[in-house]
Chain A
Amino acid sequence: GAVVSQHPSRVICKSGTSVKIECRSLDFQATTMFWYRQFPKQSLMLMATSNEGSKATYEQGVEKDKFLINHASLTLSTLTVTSAHPEDSSFYICSAQDRTNEKLFFGSGTQLSVL
Chain B
Amino acid sequence: RKEVEQDPGPFNVPEGATVAFNCTYSNSASQSFFWYRQDCRKEPKLLMSVYSSGNEDGRFTAQLNRASQYISLLIRDSKLSDSATYLCVVGLDNYGQNFVFGPGTRLSVLP
Contacts and interface: CB of A to CB of B under 8 A. Distances in A.
Contacts of A103: 34, 46, 49
Given A42-B103, A43-B87, A43-B102, A106 B95 contact: no
Interface footprint category on B = 20 to 34
Contacts of B103: 42-43
B47 to A, nearest CB: 11
Nearest to A105: B46
A74 B101 CA distance: 25
Contact of B101 (A6, A43, A101, A108): A43
A44 B101 contact: yes
Contacts of B101: 43-46
A106 B45 contact: yes
Contacts of B96: 32, 97, 100-102
Interface stretch (B11-19, B36-44, B72-80): B36-44
A84 B67 CA distance: 46
Interface in B68-111: 87, 89, 91, 95-97, 99, 101-104
B105 to A, nearest CB: 10
Contact of B43 (A45, A97, A102, A106): A106
